[in-house]
Structure 1
Amino acid sequence: MFVVLRRVVAVGLVVLLLGGGIASLPVAATPDHGAVTDDGDGLAAGVGENCTYSGGTAPNRSEATVDPVHSSTGTAKANGSVLRTRSADTHRRQPREQGGDIATTAAGMETGTATSGTTQTSDGDVIQQTQTYARVPEQPGEVAVTLTYEVPDRVVDLETHVPAAATVTETDGFERVNESVYEWEETTDTATISYRVNPNRTIEKSGPEGAEGRYLSVDTGEWALLTRSLTPTRWRYTGRDPVRYNRTLRTAGPGAAGEEIVYLGDVATFEETAHNQTFTLAVPERATMTASPISVLDSMANASNALRVGDRDEQVFVVAAPSGAVSWGVEGYQIGDADMWVQSRQSLDVANNVWLHEYVHSRQAYETTEKTRWTVEGWATYYAAVLTLEQNRIGFDEFQAQLAAGGRPVYSDVILTERTSWTNDANYWKGALVAGQTDVHIRSATGRNQTLQRVFQSLNGYRDPVTQSQFLAEIEAAGGPSVRDATATETETAAAVTMWNETTHRQLFGSIPARIGYSLPPVDRADAYRADSLYRSDAPVGGSEPIRLATNETLAVDAVVENAGGEAGTYNVSLAVNETVVDAKQGRIEPGVRTEVAVTHTFAAPGRYVVSVDGDTVTVIVSEPAAASVTNVTASPQEVRQGDSADVTATVANDNDIPGTATVEFRRNDVVFAEQRLYLSPHVTTTVTRAVTLDEPGTVSLSAGDGRTTTTVDVVVSTETAAPPSTPNSTEVPTDRQTTAGEGDGFTAIIAGLAVLLAALIARQRRS
């Protein structure tokens, strides 16, 4: 019944087609998408991913999003239902990276080179298209694609296109109409087309983002980086409410996919959400990053906050394209609304910051005409540099040098509104300088109340391509007539444009913020790297690389903190081991100050480690402690009397490059009488002494060993008993004469007492 109903309804389509009620399916647009004649401007009417904008002469700004699906309504009825037609994915917006001719390595390969717009989701009936990508290991240079449609009941007819050079391998629920067009058979709700494509595409590119190679997308056999297939789709349906269209990209096996870019292969993904945008960075296993993934995401999130120009896409998808593995034709490539790839070797700490350059492109929602085309690359180059300066990643000197390049004599005849005059990538270099100078004009004229960002935001509101007169009108609205006149001169003539100085920058952009940088000290500074442990205390271990430690030693590194900016700021220096932060210190630092901050880590396990501070690295090798050795034993004295003691002294040496340890055992006739655990620094010798009492006469063997070797010395013990310890004599108080028990002072005292008593009795008798 399901099939019959749809075919009955389809009969009515014949009437509509014969009557001309349905427009033909749009074909892919040319790179310029139509012409605009206002002010003599050239081509480049705006085209979204799923819709085409027509050129016009009047300003047409809109805050609402444009429905990315074409619609038309038939005038006839079938089975009492009005038939409506919609189409999607019929055009692609030109990619932001222009300046070269895009070619393919296979004849007839799909030539749509870029897309824009997000896939849309909505309540109600939705046609769900899923593109699933897979590597074909046995056929390098080919990628397998499965196109799946889930079709709701109200759809009575659906037609789709596959890339012209695709090799279709299987269909289920689709019938082939011609080489690239397939029609849904209406026999199932889910229908698929499987095909293979050659993803290898090349580009001839110059300018700051040009690279030495040619590849724009590639399949190496081990991994692939490519853009999705363009699949124009048209459907007819019944009912008043529209049947919408949603597209999803997936990978079969390891990989990552955005809305336009697909990476096939082992990959790690990192994510950060800020300012209503979710940033996803896919780092292939084959890629070696110069900047850490977290720092890339942080930089883009900061740029998202700094650029108040509207058009923030909810999802930003970035792939770190493996540098060196492929001869890429560009350093970075932005496609669609917010998909991009950047070569993994690219740094964040340069004025030509490709990561931010591509991100700025994702915020440029406006389309241009011939005369305003320069703003695409000129503004991206300017904002990438100024945002990098504001993020304290470069100094003003580097920022100034980047923009001042646009004033070189080679650009003396360049007129930005005349594309034919562009030499040596003038749209990048002179375009960036003019963009910056326009920002300066606006800030100066408005007392810093307005900036070029207001113009940027206004242009993003235009539905039609922005003409030169519209561009200048927005400049005047932001900065006044004098700024409009200055900008007209700088864009419409070959007038020289100069770079402003740091004083002007401070006045108009604010003081140069604190620019705090971090680095490791030179490894040849031995005392800048110190070890603390049982073996050594705060001992220098630098001097050469790798730094060698024993397990459970703590490494202290004097990280360098420098503020090259114009204001005081708060530093947050962190020490990372194998890219994991293990210690961090915070504090304040004044402008122009360079200081050192100690950060530490204790290494519990042996291994090879990469220790880093903000990208600077040093290798540390941690080993189990070396084995120190007993090298000599002496005894003193070597002849003793029975019962006396002797001192046994062991010499212990660590001749290794790492700390060592030994447990020294002292033995008397092979019986342990003492032991001592020693911890020694590298290349250190020490001694340890223990006393032993010798009670047995004869020759006694005394030894010391480290568990591997034992050194012995003999001591002779005589049979003569050792003299007992002497005791001190009592101290006698000297007197004039010695007394005995019957003599001396005691007896004399008794006699004297009796004499006194007798004298007293005689005296008493006389008185009586």
Structure 2
Amino acid sequence: MRTQLLTGLVCLFLVCASPVALGVESGPPEPGSPGGDSSIAVEYTIDREPNQTGHVRVTATIKRPRHVTGLSVRTPAETTVHRADGLHPDGDRWRLSGAARTAQLTYTVPVGLSTTFGQRTADTRNWTLLARQEVSLRARWRWHVGPRPTWNESLALAPGQSGVAGRTAAYIGPHGTETKTVDGDRITLIVPAASELRPERDAILDAISHAKRASTAGRDHNHVRVFVAPNELASGGYAPSNGEPDVIVNAGEPVRSPVNVWVHEYRHTRQTFESTPAMVWLEEGSADYHTAALTYAAGDIGEDRFRDRVTTERHETADLTQPDSWDGPGPQYHKGTRVVAAIDARLRQATDGRQTFEAVLGRLMQQDDRVTLALFAETVSSVAGTDLDAFVRDAVTGDAPPVPMDALTDLGPRRSGSADTTERPMNAAPAVESAATATSAGDGSGAGVGTARPVTDRHGEWTVLGTLGMLTVVLVSRQRL
């Protein structure tokens, strides 16, 4: 009887001490998510190095919550560490010492991020434009009972520096700013003195404002920062992290264009879905399609330019699920745009205009799973209220489908509040792109431009649960004897 009672108590303790009951979860945490006391906060304070052009000095202040029992960080490639407070070296990493809750690491790191389309950031004698992933630490930690830790990064400027620090980008140097309020939210344009802005500031802010009001899917930030890149940097635009409120756009980009980069990059600030490699094209294809549609609806391009963009024949035979087979990044922008346009038209036809592709994106962003072709086709069919699985799969992997433009006529210009700008020639720069946060399951390579998601360790959990489980087995075995 005593053995049965003890067995029951152990089983009850096992249930209460399970990972679910304790709030212990596996898998990497989301970066940048506010988590109150469960958040590991790190602030990167940026200072220019006048005597070392091409580099910045960073002071990373790390604050860990009580239930995080171990934490180590690794600096970016080519970093020179100048000072460590509350951290000690451990191989190629720096580990928080003892029970320290706060630590600081000061280091110098190079600036000059390049993507497929050219250089996006730089540090010069007069100004600095950088993306957070260039200066950020790669972290590992383990924790005991308590809420799942999150890695919450922010940027700040050192005292005496003139500039603007956002969440994922920062500018230091002579500049001007222009802010527009839209339904209580702000859009701020940061214009370096070293840049020659091609469109009028009001035209840029009006275009983004129109896109903000017309967009419903994804995260609607209360403050979007648009960092204007000096003309000497690569044309086009760059979003350091999808779903975050900061973007970088070259000063020479026009507004009156079906590939309006200002709107394209704004659309990336709303994208919070994660894709498998076979569906990465959706990030750019959907942003490019809605850029053309929103710019047309604002009256900044005519119907012919809108039609030409969404019915393009470029890369029309590419299999969008096989990026390794592409001869460059073009298919996701060109065929991807046409595929999204064709699906949007089919949705409008199937629902008498009640549903659009925006609803598909909205549902995908509510999913916890990464977007696969199967999930994408299933979501399109669900929004349409009819089976479009075969159509979607064929459109994505086979020849580009026709786009019934008649179904898109309701996208026509709504000129109320649109930007009044003069016609400008279309910029022939390569299509723009964004760099979503890397989803490495490991610690991430220091040479990558993406910010690797911190890896969590759960050492110690098996010690408790495993020992109790073994004890239960022994007690049950003795009872049977």
Shorter-chain TM range is 0.7 to 0.9
User: 1:438 aligns to what?
Assistant: 343
SS in 1 for 2:44: strand
1:287 equivalent to 2:192? Answer no
1:183 equivalent to 2:96? Answer yes
Deviation at 1:132, TM superposition (A): 0.6
Q: Superposition pairs for residues 203-352 of structure 1, below 5 Å?
A: 203-205=115-117, 214-228=118-132, 229-234=135-140, 246-252=152-158, 253-274=161-182, 277-323=185-231, 325-326=232-233, 328=234, 331-336=236-241, 337-338=243-244, 339-352=246-259
Which residue of 290, 293, 306 corresponds with 1:399?
306
Q: Superposition pairs for residues 162-201 of structure 1, below 5 Å?
A: 162-184=75-97, 186=99, 190-201=102-113
> Identity across aligned pairs (percent)?
27
Asked whether the equivalents of residues 275 and 304 of structure 1 are also in contact (C-alpha less than 8 Å), the reply is: no
User: 1:108 aligns to what?
Assistant: none
Asked whether the equivalents of residues 266 and 284 of structure 1 are also in contact (C-alpha less than 8 Å), the reply is: yes
Q: 1:145 to 1:292 in 2, by over 3 A?
A: same
Query: Match of 2:103, as an amino acid?
Result: A
Q: 1:237 to 1:302 in 2, by over 3 A?
A: same
Asked whether the equivalents of residues 275 and 301 of structure 1 are also in contact (C-alpha less than 8 Å), the reply is: no
Cα distance in 2 between the residues matched to 1:195 and 1:87: 32
Q: What are the Cα deviations for residues 561-581 of structure 1, in whole angstroms up to 9, with x where unaligned?
A: xxxxxxxx79997xxxxxxxx
Q: Superposition pairs for residues 691-702 of structure 1, below 5 Å?
A: none
Cα distance in 1 between the residues matched to 2:306 and 2:156: 40
Asked whether the equivalents of residues 207 and 418 of structure 2 are also in contact (C-alpha less than 8 Å), the reply is: no
The alignment's TM-score, normalised by the length of structure 2, stands at 0.73
Q: 1:74 to 1:169 in 2, by over 3 A?
A: farther
**Unaligned residue ranges in structure 2 (runs of 5+):** 1-16, 425-481
Query: Match of 2:408, as an amino acid?
Result: H
Q: Which has the higher contact order (CA 8 A, sep 6+)?
A: 2
Q: What are the Cα deviations for residues 654-683 of structure 1, in whole angstroms up to 9, with x where unaligned?
A: xxxxxxxxxxxxxxxxxxxxxxxxxxxxxx
Asked whether the equivalents of residues 400 and 499 of structure 1 are also in contact (C-alpha less than 8 Å), the reply is: no
Query: Match of 2:156, as an amino acid?
Result: R
User: 2:45 aligns to what?
Assistant: 132
Q: What are the Cα deviations for residues 584-638 of structure 1, in whole angstroms up to 9, with x where unaligned?
A: xxxxxxxxxxxxxxxxxxxxxxxxxxxxxx4699xxxxxxxxxxxxxxxxxxxxx
User: 1:429 aligns to what?
Assistant: 334
Asked whether the equivalents of residues 96 and 103 of structure 2 are also in contact (C-alpha less than 8 Å), the reply is: no
Deviation at 1:220, TM superposition (A): 1.9
SS in 1 for 2:396: helix
SS in 2 for 1:345: coil
Find the structure with the greater CA-based Rg. 1
Q: 1:487 to 1:174 in 2, by over 3 A?
A: closer
Q: What are the Cα deviations for residues 179-222 of structure 1, in whole angstroms up to 9, with x where unaligned?
A: 332433657x65321100111232333xxxxxxxx213221232
Cα distance in 2 between the residues matched to 1:570 and 1:201: 37
Deviation at 1:231, TM superposition (A): 1.7
Which residue of 161, 164, 173 corresponds with 2:74?
161
SS in 1 for 2:125: coil
User: 1:416 aligns to what?
Assistant: 320
Query: Match of 2:138, as an amino acid?
Result: P
Which residue of 349, 368, 371 corresponds with 2:275?
368
Deviation at 1:504, TM superposition (A): 4.8
Q: 1:220 to 1:615 in 2, by over 3 A?
A: farther
SS in 2 for 1:340: strand
Query: Match of 2:326, as an amino acid?
Result: W
Asked whether the equivalents of residues 86 and 234 of structure 1 are also in contact (C-alpha less than 8 Å), the reply is: no
Query: Match of 1:218, as an amino acid?
Result: A
Judging by fraction of residues, say which structure has more helix. Answer: 2
Query: Match of 2:216, as an amino acid?
Result: R
Query: Match of 2:211, as an amino acid?
Result: A
SS in 2 for 1:430: helix
Deviation at 1:310, TM superposition (A): 3.1
Q: 1:283 to 1:121 in 2, by over 3 A?
A: farther
Cα distance in 2 between the residues matched to 1:286 and 1:226: 15
Q: Superposition pairs for residues 482-497 of structure 1, below 5 Å?
A: 483-494=388-399, 496-497=400-401
Judging by fraction of residues, say which structure has more strand. Answer: 1
Asked whether the equivalents of residues 159 and 183 of structure 1 are also in contact (C-alpha less than 8 Å), the reply is: yes
Deviation at 1:341, TM superposition (A): 0.4
Q: 1:237 to 1:386 in 2, by over 3 A?
A: closer
**Unaligned residue ranges in structure 1 (runs of 5+):** 1-72, 76-82, 92-115, 206-213, 516-568, 574-613, 618-768
The alignment's TM-score, normalised by the length of structure 1, stands at 0.47
Q: 1:242 to 1:447 in 2, by over 3 A?
A: closer
